[in-house]
Structure 1
């Protein structure tokens, strides 16, 4: 059964179609949630809350392809992650003093697996990790991030810079070298 047909049936309340959509999307969406919240339990809670909202609002969704569906569900999941961080009052902007920039080699990330990179990102403080994910992974601009998080653009830029510095330090501590590229 194709995705468009699953969407139509799920809109009509078909539990098997909803389960198929959940099965189709849940693994990818759990990875999205894990980028924002540290614990597996919180990520699973956010995933379930996100799918609840997804199915609750599915009637207003106009299917225009799998990419549009993925993007819409991902946006719901990110919103739910940010809501959980606010609810738990763990989204604080870290004020750690700026560290010196570390000189790092060009082939660093080539020596790391996706899991190792993911683990480095997840270990960032919440504020750093959230801004890093929104900017580098989701492709949002600082103005959008600032509006979403209720911070200034300058704070968003600062958090991103500090996140990169901390990632570089962690890479260096692991014996991996990385050369900074120009930011947008």
Structure 2
């Protein structure tokens, strides 16, 4: 049995030391995940705490199939998305027609990672969420739509618009 599996089994028995070990083992990665899916550091901290509470409350449901970290990530992402939906003031359930993608320029330019991350951070929240779920977590539009409470068409449209905005920002950056 590997270390993580051993810790998980002890956590299922409510072993406080094992819970502390699990927290120490995954806290940095889960907090980084919360930062990506939260509009502010304060909300990321709340989602981080809520995520770990949910992990410990539902750890008995983890069957050992698939990676434990993947199971945890899903809980943390769902925690952030549920809060997002709850706080959402704009109705996102309407279908928005898909945007036709334009061809990319043949020119390649180097863009520092921190600049690209900054461009992603500047996206409108709904575009940023869909972009991160599709590109970062490799989820399908069907799953994204279910998580965010929107239609698949809206998910596709939000991704296309995020890509358009990023493409424009990258082009502007490259032309400097």
Smaller-chain TM-score range? 0.7 to 0.9
Aligned residues of 1:33 and 1:47 also touching (Cα < 8 A): yes
Aligned residues of 1:11 and 1:58 also touching (Cα < 8 A): yes
TM-score (norm 2): 0.83
- Please report the RMSD computed on the Cα atoms of aligned residues, expressed in angstroms: 2.7
Q: Which residue of 2 aligns with 1:173?
A: 172
Distance in 1, Cα, partners of 2:63 & 2:108: 43
Compared CA separation, residues 35 and 100, structure 1 to 2 (3 A) = same
Compared CA separation, residues 105 and 25, structure 1 to 2 (3 A) = farther
Q: Which residue of 2 aligns with 1:61?
A: 62
Q: Which residue of 2 aligns with 1:112?
A: 112
1:139 positional shift: 1.4
Consecutive unaligned residues in structure 2, runs of 5 or more: none
TM-score (norm 1): 0.80
Distance in 1, Cα, partners of 2:18 & 2:133: 31
Distance in 1, Cα, partners of 2:14 & 2:141: 39
Q: Which residue of 2 aligns with 1:83?
A: 82
> What secondary structure is seen at the aligned counterpart in 2 of 1:161?
helix
Aligned residues: 171
1:116 positional shift: 3.2
Q: Which residue of 1 aligns with 2:13?
A: 12
The 5 A counterparts of 1:155-166 are 155-166=154-165
Q: What whole-Å deviation, never above 9, does each CA across 1:27-64 have from its counterpart, x for those lacking one?
A: 11122222221211111110110110000011121235
Q: Which residue of 2 aligns with 1:141?
A: 140
Aligned residues of 2:119 and 2:166 also touching (Cα < 8 A): yes
Consecutive unaligned residues in structure 1, runs of 5 or more: 178-184
> What secondary structure is seen at the aligned counterpart in 2 of 1:73?
helix
